[in-house]
C-alpha cells in the first residue's frame, strides 16, 4: 500500500506536475490575451491588475470586426495559406516519392541540401525574393506570397513525407504496376491513401506556417494583399497601442489554426507516429 502511494506521488512529481507546468507555460500567454480582449477599456491599466475581469465586454471585437479590412485580411490570409498548402503538398509529395523509391546520383546531396536550407533563417531569402518578384512584376500579389511561403515550407515537408512513404513497402507499388498502373498511378492510387495521415500532418504544418508568417507578408505585399499578421500589426500606433483591439485581433487570428488542429488532431498524431517509424 505504501509502495503504491509512493509510486503515485513520484509519478505526480516527476511527470504530471512537469506536464502541467509545460501546459501552463504554453497556454498562459494565450489565456492572458483572451482575458485582456474581453476587459473594458477602463480596466486594462488599473492597478492592482485584475487577473480575472469583473466585467466582460465584447466591445473590442465589435470595433475590430466593424473594420471591414480586418475580415478582408483574414480572407486574404486564407487564400495565401490554402494556396501554399496546394503548392507545397504537390511538390513535396512528388519529391518525397522520388527520394523514397528511386536511387539516383546526387540523391543524398539533394536530401542534405533540403535539410541545410532549414538551418538558415528565412530572412536571408527576403532580399533575393524581393528582387526576383519585382523584376517579374509580382510584388503585392497572392502568387508572390504563395511562392515565398513555399520556399521555406517545401524542404521540411519533403523530409516529413519521405519518412512517411518509406514506411510503405515497395512491393505494393510493384504489384500495382503489374496490374497495369503507371508509376504515377501507383503513387496516386496506392501510396497516397496509405500515407494519408502523413499528408494531413504535412498539410497542417504548411498551413500553420503560412498563416502565422509575417516577414514575407510585410515585405512582398502589404497594400493590395495584406494578411492577418500584417493587419494586426497595423493596430500598433506610433504613440499608442490599443491593447483591447490588439488582443482581440490576436485571438481571432489564432482561432482558425486552433480549430483546424482540434478538428484533425487524430490524423496529425497518427501522421507523426507513422513518420517516426523507419522501414
- 142 and 268 co-located in one domain: yes
3-state secondary structure 162-204: HHHHHCCCHHHHHHHHHCCCCHHHHHHHHHHHHCHHHHHHHHH
Determine the distance from the C-alpha atom of residue 29 to the mean position of all C-alpha atoms in its chain, rounded to a whole number.
19
Residue range 92-104, pLDDT digits in tens: 999 898 888 888 8
Measured in degrees and rounded to the nearest 5, phi and psi for residue 211 equal -65, -40
Give the pTM. Answer: 0.81
The Cβ of residue 258 has, within 10 Å, a number of other Cβ atoms equal to: 12
How many Cα neighbours within 13 Å face the side chain of 163?
A: 17
pLDDT of residue 146: 92
pLDDT of residue 267: 60
Chosen domain end from 57, 78, 98: 57
3-state helix, strand, coil in the chain (%, to 5): 75, 0, 25
- 190 and 241 co-located in one domain: yes
Q: Is 135 exposed, middle or buried (0-12, 13-18, 19+ CB in 10 A)?
A: exposed
The lowest-confidence range among 62-76, 83-97, 126-140 is 62-76
Distance CA 218, CA 223 (A): 9
% of the chain with per-residue pLDDT over 70:
89
Q: What is the DSSP string of 38-56?
A: TS-GGGTT-SS--SS-SS-
- 24 and 109 co-located in one domain: no
- 101 and 40 co-located in one domain: no
Number of domains in the chain: 2
- 213 and 75 co-located in one domain: yes
Chosen domain end from 57, 85, 102: 57
Give the chain's count of helices (H) and strands (E). Answer: 15, 0
pLDDT of residue 275: 47
How many Cα neighbours within 13 Å face the side chain of 226?
A: 14
- 44 and 80 co-located in one domain: no
- 67 and 50 co-located in one domain: no
Sign of the C-alpha dihedral computed for residues 191, 192, 197 and 203 taken in this order: positive
How many residues does this entry show for the chain?
279
- Nearest 5°: CA angle at 201, between 196 and 203? 90
- 13 and 146 co-located in one domain: no
Full domain range(s) for residue 95: 63-275
pLDDT of residue 83: 94
Residue range 23-68, pLDDT digits in tens: 888 788 888 888 888 888 777 777 777 777 777 788 888 888 887 5
- 41 and 123 co-located in one domain: no
- 78 and 198 co-located in one domain: yes
Site of grid cell 536571408: 124
What does the pLDDT average to over 200-217? 88
What does the pLDDT average to over 5-23? 74
Q: What CATH number is associated with residue 91?
A: 1.10.3720.10
- 45 and 107 co-located in one domain: no
- 108 and 163 co-located in one domain: yes
pLDDT of residue 6: 60
Tell me: pLDDT of 179 over 90: no
Tell me: pLDDT of 264 over 90: no
Q: pLDDT band for position 277 (50/70/90)?
A: very low
Chosen domain end from 57, 78, 99: 57
Radius of gyration over every alpha carbon of the chain, rounded to an integer in angstroms: 23
pLDDT of residue 87: 93
Amino acid at each position: 500500500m505504501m509502495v503504491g502511494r509512493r509510486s503515485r506521488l513520484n509519478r505526480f512529481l516527476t511527470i504530471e506536475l512537469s506536464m502541467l507546468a509545460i501546459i501552463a507555460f504554453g497556454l498562459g500567454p494565450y489565456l492572458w490575451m483572451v482575458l485582456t480582449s474581453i476587459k473594458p477599456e477602463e480596466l486594462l491599466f488599473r492597478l492592482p491588475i485584475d487577473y480575472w475581469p469583473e466585467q466582460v465586454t465584447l466591445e473590442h471585437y465589435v470595433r475590430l470586426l466593424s473594420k471591414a479590412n480586418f475580415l478582408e485580411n483574414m480572407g486574404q490570409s486564407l487564400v495565401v495559406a490554402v494556396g501554399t498548402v496546394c503548392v507545397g503538398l504537390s511538390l513535396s509529395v512528388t519529391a518525397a516519392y522520388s527520394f523514397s523509391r528511386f536511387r539516383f546520383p546526387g540523391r543524398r546531396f539533394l536530401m542534405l541540401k533540403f535539410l541545410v536550407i532549414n538551418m538558415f533563417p528565412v530572412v536571408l531569402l527576403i532580399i533575393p525574393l524581393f528582387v526576383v518578384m519585382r523584376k517579374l512584376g509580382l510584388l503585392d500579389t497572392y502568387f508572390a506570397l504563395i511562392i515565398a511561403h513555399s520556399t521555406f515550407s517545401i524542404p521540411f515537408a519533403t523530409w516529413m513525407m519521405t519518412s512517411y512513404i518509406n514506411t510503405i513497402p515497395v512491393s505494393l507499388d510493384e504489384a500495382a504496376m503489374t496490374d497495369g498502373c503507371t508509376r504515377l498511378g501507383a503513387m496516386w492510387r496506392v501510396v497516397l491513401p496509405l500515407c494519408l495521415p502523413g499528408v494531413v500532418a504535412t498539410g497542417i504544418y504548411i498551413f500553420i506556417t503560412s498563416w502565422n508568417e509575417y516577414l514575407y507578408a510585410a515585405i512582398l505585399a502589404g497594400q493590395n494583399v495584406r494578411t492577418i499578421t500584417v493587419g494586426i500589426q497595423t493596430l500598433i500606433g506610433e504613440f499608442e497601442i490599443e491593447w483591447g483591439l490588439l488582443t482581440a485581433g490576436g485571438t481571432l487570428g489564432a482561432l482558425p489554426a486552433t480549430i483546424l488542429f482540434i478538428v484533425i488532431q487524430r490524423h496529425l498524431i497518427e501522421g507523426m507516429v507513422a513518420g517516426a517509424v523507419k522501414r
